[in-house]
Structures are given as C-alpha cells and as structure tokens.
C-alpha cells in the first residue's frame, strides 16, 4: 500500500511594527493592552541593549499558539537622571536615550504579526496614547533590526 504524506508548513507572516507615542510608562501601557486585547504580555528576562552603550530597553512578550500571533512591546526611549556638580544651576538633570533615534516621537514599538486596522484602533483608544501608527515604509531597516 502506498502512503502519501502531505507536508503543510505554516506561512510565517512578517511582523508589523506600530509606533506608539504615549505618556504612560511601558509597564502601564502593557497592562492596558493586556486588559483591552485579552493578552498576557510579560516582561522578558533579558532587556534589549545597544552594543555602544550601557542603556537597556525593556521588552514585553507574548505568544498565542491558538491565534498564531507573537506580540512584543519594546521601549524606544528611556530617561535617566544624574546628579550635577555643585556649580550647576540644578541638582539633577535628565537625559533621554533612544533605541532608534530616527523614531524619537515613538515611545514604544509594538511588533505583531497579523495586525488588523481594528486592533490598531483599539491600541489608539488606550487612555493617554497620543498617536499610534504603522512604521513608515521608508524605515524598513528598523523592521529588519527588530527581527527576533
């Protein structure tokens, strides 16, 4: 008896990147996103860091096997506070560092496969989210760097 085997490989969809401008800290945004979309994003054990400096950017992850979706939320900017010298006008100063300086208006990056316009509108509806938009096509190099 001849046996035939059908090998079906799941198509891997490209992840889309959503730029989010918000005043919420990353953990509060992730909490609201989990609540709104019934996700279970959690803080990854390893932060993302650039080779050049010591700054670490938080990463939140969730994989849904049923929907075959992978979600990641990354901080695009961090703010550090440092003490100034005695001669300074202020006791402390803040410095901002960006994961991708060309996206300085984006506080967070949401990477997900199978993104729909309805989900994008739900993200926009989170309180204190000022803007939410897909990564512009001319910044395709950033999308390549976000491949995990």
Q: Give residue-wise pLDDT tens across range 111-120.
A: 999 899 999 9
pLDDT for the residue 48:
84
Tokens of 59: 């990463």
User: How many domains would you assign to the chain?
Assistant: 1
- Per-residue pLDDT band for 148 (boundaries 50, 70, 90) equals low
Residue 39 lies inside a defined structural domain of this protein: yes
| 1: in domain | no
Find the range with the poorest average confidence among 40-54, 64-78, 118-132.
40-54
Rg of the Cα trace of the chain?
A: 19
Q: For residue 76, give its domain range.
A: 15-81+93-145
Please indicate, yes or no, if residue 86 is contained in any of the structural domains: no
Handedness of CA 42, 46, 51, 52 (dihedral sign): positive
Residue 88 falls within a domain, yes or no? Answer: no
- 137 domain-assigned: yes
Mean pLDDT value of segment 96-106: 91
**CB-based contact 114:67 (threshold 8 Å):** yes
| CATH classification at residue 22 | 3.30.310
Helices 117-124 and 26-37: angle between axes, nearest 10 degrees: 130
pLDDT of res. 52: 62
- Residue 117 inside a domain? The answer is yes
Q: Residues 35-59: what's their mean pLDDT?
A: 86
pTM of the prediction? Answer: 0.81
Query: Per the domain annotation, does 2 fall within a domain?
Result: no
The most confident of the ranges 5-14, 47-56, 78-87, 108-117 is 108-117
Answer whether residue 3 is part of any domain.
no
């Amino acid at each position: 008896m001849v046996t035939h085997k059908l090998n079906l490989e799941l198509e891997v969809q490209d992840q889309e990147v959503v730029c989010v401008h918000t005043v919420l800290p990353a953990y509060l945004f992730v909490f609201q996103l989990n609540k709104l979309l019934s996700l279970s994003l959690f803080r990854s054990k390893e932060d993302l860091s650039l080779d050049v400096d010591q700054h670490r950017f938080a990463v939140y992850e969730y994989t849904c096997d049923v929907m075959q979706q992978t979600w990641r939320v990354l901080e695009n900017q961090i703010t550090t506070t440092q003490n100034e010298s005695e001669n300074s006008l202020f006791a402390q100063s803040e410095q901002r560092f960006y994961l991708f300086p060309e996206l300085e208006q984006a506080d967070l990056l949401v990477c997900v496969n199978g993104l729909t316009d309805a989900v994008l509108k739900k993200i926009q509806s989170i309180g204190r989210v000022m803007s939410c938009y897909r990564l512009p096509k001319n910044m395709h190099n950033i999308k390549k760097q976000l491949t995990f």
